[in-house]
Amino acid sequence: MRLSILETRHRYTQKALLRIVRLLGLQSLDAVKTFMYRPEYFGMPFCDLAHHVMCRDSEWTRAERELFGAYVSSLNHCSF
């Protein structure tokens, strides 16, 4: 499900970055738009959590964790 607010209600600097991405012929991922919209509530806390999960000490290497994430994303038909 796409939220229409993520297409139109970013702050000026975020809109400018998304416009540059489009001008370069690239497509902005919905996840990136979500992180950029009100980053103080979702974007930064979620990125900090993901960094903690992927980089902390574990029996699995970081590469193995990335592979697990990619595999689960493919099962969910997700592009990342």
Gap between the Cα atoms of 42 and 61, Å rounded: 27
Gap between the Cα atoms of 37 and 51, Å rounded: 19
Are 46 and 31 in contact by the 8 Å Cβ rule? The answer is no
pLDDT confidence of 71, banded at 50, 70, 90? very high
Are 29 and 80 in contact by the 8 Å Cβ rule? The answer is yes
**Is residue 56 predicted with pLDDT exceeding 80?**
yes
Average pLDDT over residues 28-56: 83
**pTM of this prediction exceeds 0.75:** no
Q: What secondary structure does DSSP assign to 10-34, as a single string? A: --HHHHHHHHHHHHTT----HHHHH
